[in-house]
Amino acid sequence: MVAMAEELETRFVVVCNHEQQHALWPAFKPLPAGWQQVKAADSRENCLNYVNQNWTDIRPLSLRTL
């Protein structure tokens, strides 16, 4: 139960790669190579809402431009 409570309290950032794929990343961890932060640290729910509103075409960018 503690782990679940800790997960709910964890702040996340939204990151995006060169293919315009989005992901949630724990705010306390260094960003992985090739990813850029596109939303400031926030709750998991708010970050998921951001992803749902801004990543409407989940195909990688390279497949969208064919």
Residue with tokens 């709910």: 8
Task: Please write the tens of the pLDDT for every residue from 5-63.
Answer: 555 569 999 999 999 999 999 999 999 999 999 999 999 999 999 999 999 998 888 89
* pLDDT at residue 8, as a whole number: 55
* pLDDT at residue 2, as a whole number: 53
Task: Please write the tens of the pLDDT for every residue from 43-54.
Answer: 999 999 999 999
The residues facing 14 across adjacent strands are: 24, 39
* pLDDT at residue 64, as a whole number: 84
- Which domains does the chain show, CATH number per domain? 2-56 (3.90.820.10)
* pLDDT at residue 49, as a whole number: 99
